[in-house]
Amino acid sequence: MARMPTDRVTAAKLAGAQLARFIKFVVRTSDIVAEPPNILDRLRTDHPCIVALWHGQFMMAGSYRPDVPVAAMVARHRDAELIGTTMESLGVELVRGAGSAGRKKDRGGASALRGALQCLAQGKSFVMTADVPPGPARRCGEGIITLARMSGRPIVPLAAATSRFKVLDTWSRMTINLPYSKLAFVYGDPIFVPRDASAQTLEMLRQKVERDLNAVTRRAYELAGADLSLATPRAADSSIPPARPGLALRTYRALTRTLAPLAPLALDHRARRGKEDAARRPERLGVASRPRPVGPLAWVHAASVGEFNAVLPLIERLVEVRPDLNVLVTTGTVTSAAIAASRLPDRSFHQYAPIDTPQTVRAFLDHWKPDLAVFTESDIWPNLVLATADRGAPMALVNARMSHRSSRRWRRRRRIAKQLFGRFNIVLAQNSQLARHFSLLGAPKTMNAGNLKVDAPAPPVDRLELARMQRLIGDRPLLVAASTHDGEELIVANAHRIIREHIPDLLTIIAPRHPSRGEQLTAELAADGFIIARRSTRTDPEPSTDIYLADTIGELGVFYSLGKVVFLGGSLVPHGGQNPIEAIRLGCAVMSGPHRQNFADIYGQLQNAGAVAEVRDAQELAVGALRLLRERPARESALRAAEGVLQEMGGALEKSLAALLPLLPPRSVPPPSAHEESAEMPADAPVEGLRRASS
């Protein structure tokens, strides 16, 4: 157990003793009702047994029991010391440890299982919560099933409820029972788990424990005359309405409403920097540039290029399996809009996302009236989320992720997080750890669906342009540095200089993440003595060219196909890295810097398989690139390992599709006709839309 200072140990023991006295006081002052009435005799008959409780509902568990020895599982962390001391004061023996809830970290589960088996063998009943912190709440874990199978002792569901109680805002809705109540205890039928049970039988019994424990909990609250929904996490019952917007969100709404008239000035500033499409500004103010198609409409929102590329296969599958469905896609960047225009399938179309003011969001939703809203990854705008939920449209967050820093920020603002994430019908996370994070932040239903980017196809390749570039470059060795960020281009250039001592005819292609930096980069690299050719000015590389600056949009497929050794940017600076999958799909061996937390899952597995080289500076980049350029077996081995990792990690696309389809309205009308789809917008629609947005 984590060591605690002596004063904290003493304080925990004193508080635990006081809490035990309080529990006894609740029992003494309450009217007790039990179901069945002979509950104590039943407990004696089944003793020693495994008493199952829901987390957050265990306060009264040790206060009403037959005179038999009892032990209980208590977590090792120091916050559980108060609970442990309380239970010891009530005469309950402790076994330290907890289940892992799918985490790799050992929380003492193995030693706790051994301790529990020993207690049962010694004739002690064992009390444990069926759900495992930090959730999902009210979902029976595998630990209690394993204990029953190995011990041969039955699981007995038990619940206690009082008519008066307070609830803490924790993942399990920790309930503090109050005195002078009606106190109800409900005991379920014993559940035996055969030692030789198959995996299918074990899962059926796990679900039975879950159902029976929910049933006795529901009955206990009925007998006590209490409202169970107040003590039930939304993760366990999505019919419970989400928390109402608090002061912070109401203040945000008021400020954005007040500042909305300044939005055109902000858009002007962004347009001057090349970050807005002035011709389509009305879309940013919520005014549609086309009519809403007839029939069901799914709205998919992606922040920018990376998110759009990840969700594109899902859009393609949606329109494939639902021929009556149209898909509205919104993004917020000029680059993503250009890519969407060329890559979206039939019956899907792009609009710019409205800026997050109540007026623009209202105009946007009034026009489009989506039947399903799908947000991608972590692009959460409060007005957009709240207003969409108020319209009653089902909402999903797909390919959901957040960085450690974002997760810490959201946890500090957990009340706001619950008011936002609690409005999503489902959150499809990239891995199980993220699913737990979103559950803790208030999402009523989370699922580890995997990373959609793993299932994304290779980026498009212009075959004519690829052939032309291959003729220009000939046999020159190539190093491609893709999606580089400010500060990385000079590191790549210095690596080029080192490699050139061994490979004099090396050509390095740098594709900056933000092509608008092309002119600035050309000047900086030329000043450092490099001969530069710049793609945006249609300057082709010549035999004397050192660096070819690919400052254009949507052409990474060509450059990945040209070179077989790629460094992915955003990773030598603390940006979070870039997606390695597109490069791997086109046959490239990948190098990356250490800052790649945005794709930690993928890079972690690639690293374990020896499929990616990590570099930290120009010298290491040069050494790694030189090895891959010179040694074909090493390059091919890394690529095979990477392709194997992607194959193992696949499947997110079909899981996500299966989760979204039930949220769509049933098919009831034929697909819209070509005439309906091409209907012209009334001439005064943009004017009316602007009027509504400004109001």
Q: What percent of the chain has pLDDT over 90?
A: 68
Which of 184, 204, 231 marks a domain boundary? 231
376 and 505 part of one domain = no
pLDDT value at 157 more than 50: yes
The 3 state secondary structure assigned to 59-73 is CCHHHCCCCCCEEEE
For residue 437, count other CB atoms closer than 10 A to its CB. 25
251 and 301 part of one domain = yes
17 and 109 part of one domain = yes
Q: How many structural domains is the chain composed of?
A: 3
Can you give the pLDDT at residue 693? 41
The DSSP-derived string for 132-172 is -TT--TT---SHHHHHHHHH-PPEEEEEEEESSEEE--STT
Among residues 276, 283, 307, 488, the one annotated as catalytic is: 307
pLDDT tens, position by position, 490-500: 999 999 999 99
pLDDT tens, position by position, 133-156: 877 789 999 999 999 999 999 999
Tell me the pLDDT band of 234, cut-offs 50, 70 and 90.
Answer: confident
422 and 549 part of one domain = no
Between CA 184 and CA 26 the distance in angstroms is 12
Whose tokens are 């069945």? That residue is 36
280: left (phi over 0), alpha (psi -120 to 50) or beta: alpha
662 and 579 part of one domain = no
Q: Which candidate, 142, 129, 117, places its Cα nearest to that of 213?
A: 129
Contact 317, 652 (CB under 8 A): no
307 is catalytic: yes
Can you give the pLDDT at residue 281? 94
179 and 294 part of one domain = no
Q: Is residue 239 part of a domain?
A: no
Q: Is residue 172 part of a domain?
A: yes
Helix residue ranges per DSSP H, 182-304: 199-224, 247-259, 263-272, 281-284
Q: Is residue 1 part of a domain?
A: no
Can you give the pLDDT at residue 8? 66
Q: Is residue 11 part of a domain?
A: yes
Residue ranges making up the domain that contains 423: 247-450+656-673+685-694
605 and 580 part of one domain = yes
Q: Which two tokens stand for residue 82?
A: 């108060």
281 and 387 part of one domain = yes
Extended strands (E) in 283-390 = 297-301, 326-331, 348-352, 372-376
Q: Which two tokens stand for residue 436?
A: 């737990």
Tell me the pLDDT band of 458, cut-offs 50, 70 and 90.
Answer: confident
Q: Which two tokens stand for residue 676?
A: 């309906």
Q: Is residue 237 part of a domain?
A: no
pLDDT tens, position by position, 362-391: 999 999 999 999 999 988 999 999 999 999
194 and 254 part of one domain = no
Can you give the pLDDT at residue 306? 85
For strand 70-74 and strand 93-96, is the pairing parallel, antiparallel, or unpaired? parallel
Which of 175, 204, 231 marks a domain boundary? 231
The CATH number of whichever domain residue 504 belongs to comes to 3.40.50.2000
Q: Is residue 107 part of a domain?
A: yes
The CATH number of whichever domain residue 316 belongs to comes to 3.40.50.11720
Backbone φ and ψ for 36, nearest 5 degrees, come out as -70, 165
Can you give the pLDDT at residue 392? 93
Q: Is residue 241 part of a domain?
A: no
**HSE-CB of 484 using CA atoms within 13 angstroms:** 26
pLDDT tens, position by position, 572-625: 999 889 989 999 999 999 999 999 988 888 899 999 999 999 999 999 999 999
Between CA 220 and CA 159 the distance in angstroms is 6
Can you give the pLDDT at residue 67? 82
Tell me the pLDDT band of 648, cut-offs 50, 70 and 90.
Answer: confident
- H or E, element range at 114: helix 109-121
The DSSP-derived string for 554-587 is S-HHHHHHH-SEEEESSTTTTT-----HHHHHTT
| Cα radius of gyration (the chain) | 30
Can you give the pLDDT at residue 111? 81
pLDDT tens, position by position, 168-224: 878 888 999 999 999 999 999 999 999 999 999 999 999 999 999 999 999 999 999
pLDDT value at 395 more than 90: yes
Peptide bond into 264 cis (omega under 30): no
479 and 613 part of one domain = yes
Between CA 421 and CA 442 the distance in angstroms is 6
222 and 102 part of one domain = yes
Which of 163, 196, 231 marks a domain boundary? 231
Q: Is residue 352 part of a domain?
A: yes
Between CA 165 and CA 179 the distance in angstroms is 9
pLDDT value at 674 more than 50: no
The CATH number of whichever domain residue 75 belongs to comes to 3.40.1130
440 and 550 part of one domain = no
